[in-house]
């Protein structure tokens, strides 16, 4: 086929045929399509979009570029990413405590949103790289790095999109996420699609369109799928950063933790258990300790020591209220960028992260505070980072409390 003709078709608003899409993905994966040509096609897709059949064909072609896994009777969860989003950590053990296998192939953070693997690697000894035999032997489930042979076309294409300004496309985002999730081979999938300043999708309508597209792709492929549309305008929970978020996740598993983290964890757990055909209230497993038992077993299986002290940053800096009032503004993007600048995130995939870096939130949105009270504590091993982090942090103190936050807005699927 002629790549130039394919680029022109999409550039002019036409639909690509199934055979054309399969040829493009295969040829690009194996180096027969030049990077600049694929970049041109990706930009044409960003500008012109794709219809449902094209998105499905694109997704299937990326799945078929590599191997498939199979986990009988399993359910997975995927979040589109946010600030303080540590939900995967308590959620997997909570669902596993009900006898449902939860295999989760995850990634590391890039930019202001933290990666699940980075958080778990703060646990002494814990490792993300597992063989398939180790995955099969996991007690209730695992969180591991995706293997290189799982949707390799997506791995290559995402790296190209990241440097060519072509990430912001619902068809390409949906096919990227779902090609890996479908290839992963679970029976069910619950999606947490976020919107707000700290999310990939800032507008609720865009989040809804992305959720519907992914749910359709999953269901069409035989993976029972649903999605929750959730708010990410302010950080989730009271911590942002790797070891800090692990500590908070353990609090949830022990029956405590911030109300919003508990609410979202339980809501997603109920969806996952429903897809697995289990009629149970997941809150019971938090109260009776079964979720904590599952957490300890899963951490131990991946070499981690659940009893070892988590890393702590060597330096801290407190942000205090300048006057009395209510916290009416605590922007998720600002907190995420500040945490990233403190060392909790990376600019490039090969950059290291500081396990103890991040931000503690003492006064979340809506809190009544007095002048001089702590609002935030910043953590880092490199104190010269404080200045740049403080440049973007602008918590707002007002005279009247803000409207109550709605965390879960709707369900799709």
Residues labelled catalytic:
78, 154, 161, 176, 180
- Identify whether the C-beta of residue 316 lies closer than 8 Å to the C-beta of residue 379: yes
CB contact burial 140-169 (16+ within 10 A = b; e otherwise): bbbbbebbeebbbbbbbbbeebeebebeeb
Q: What tokens were used for 35?
A: 């990077």
Distance, CA of 206 to CA of 200 (rounded, Å)? 10
Q: What is the phi/psi pair of residue 123, to 5°? A: -75, 125
Beta bridge partners of 241: 358
Q: What's the Cα-to-Cα distance from 85 to each of 169, 186, 245, 274, rounded to whole Å?
A: 23, 22, 8, 23
* Three-state DSSP state, 195: strand
CA-wise closest residue to 19 among 30, 11, 27: 27
How buried is 37 (Cβ within 10 angstroms: 0-12 exposed, 13-18 middle, 19+ buried)? Answer: middle
| Nearest to 185, CA basis, from 287, 90, 105 | 105
Return the closest-CA partner of residue 130 out of 309, 139, 92.
Answer: 139
Q: Using CB atoms within 10 A of its CB, is residue 406 exposed (0-12), middle (13-18) or buried (19+)? A: exposed
What is the spatial distance between Cα 169 and Cα 43, in angstroms, rounded to a whole number? 9
User: H or E element: which one contains 358?
Assistant: strand 358-361
**Dist. CA 264–CA 261, nearest whole Å:** 5
Tokens 């814990």 -> residue = 126
């Amino acid at each position: 086929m002629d790549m130039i003709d394919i680029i022109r078709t999409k550039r002019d608003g036409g639909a690509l045929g199934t055979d054309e899409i399969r040829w493009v993905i295969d040829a690009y994966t194996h180096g027969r399509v030049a990077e600049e040509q694929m970049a041109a096609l990706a930009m044409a897709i960003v500008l012109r979009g794709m219809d449902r059949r094209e998105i499905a064909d694109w997704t299937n072609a990326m799945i078929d570029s590599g191997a498939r896994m199979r986990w009988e009777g399993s359910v997975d969860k995927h979040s589109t990413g946010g600030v303080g989003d540590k939900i995967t950590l308590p959620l997997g053990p909570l669902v596993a405590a009900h006898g449902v296998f939860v295999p989760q192939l995850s990634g590391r953070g890039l930019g202001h949103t933290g990666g699940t693997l980075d958080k778990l690697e703060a646990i002494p000894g814990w490792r993300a790289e597992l063989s398939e035999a180790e995955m099969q032997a996991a007690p209730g489930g695992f969180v591991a790095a995706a293997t290189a042979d799982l949707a390799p076309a997506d791995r290559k294409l995402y790296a190209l999109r990241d440097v060519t300004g072509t990430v912001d496309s619902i068809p390409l985002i949906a096919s990227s996420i779902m090609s890996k999730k479908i290839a992963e081979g679970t029976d069910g999938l619950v999606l947490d699609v976020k919107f707000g300043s700290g999310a990939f999708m800032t507008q609720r309508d865009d989040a809804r369109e992305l959720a519907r597209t992914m749910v359709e792709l999953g269901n069409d492929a035989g993976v029972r799928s649903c999605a929750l549309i959730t708010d990410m305008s302010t950080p989730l929970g009271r911590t942002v950063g790797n070891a800090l978020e692990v500590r908070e996740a353990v609090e949830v598993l022990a029956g405590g933790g911030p109300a919003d983290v508990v609410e979202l964890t339980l809501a997603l757990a109920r969806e996952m258990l429903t897809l697995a055909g289990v009629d149970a209230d997941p809150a019971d497993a938090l109260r009776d300790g079964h979720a904590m038992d599952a957490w300890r077993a899963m951490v131990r299986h991946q070499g981690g020591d659940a009893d070892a002290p988590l890393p702590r940053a060597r330096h801290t800096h407190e942000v205090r209220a300048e006057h009395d009032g209510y916290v009416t503004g605590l922007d998720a993007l600002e907190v995420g960028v500040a945490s990233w600048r403190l060392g909790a995130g990376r600019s490039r995939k090969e950059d290291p992260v500081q396990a103890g870096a991040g931000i503690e939130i003492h006064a979340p949105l809506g809190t009544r505070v007095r002048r001089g009270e702590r609002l935030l504590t910043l953590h880092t091993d490199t104190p010269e980072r404080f200045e740049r982090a403080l440049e973007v942090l602008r918590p707002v103190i007002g005279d009247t409390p803000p409207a109550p936050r709605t965390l879960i807005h709707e369900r799709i699927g």
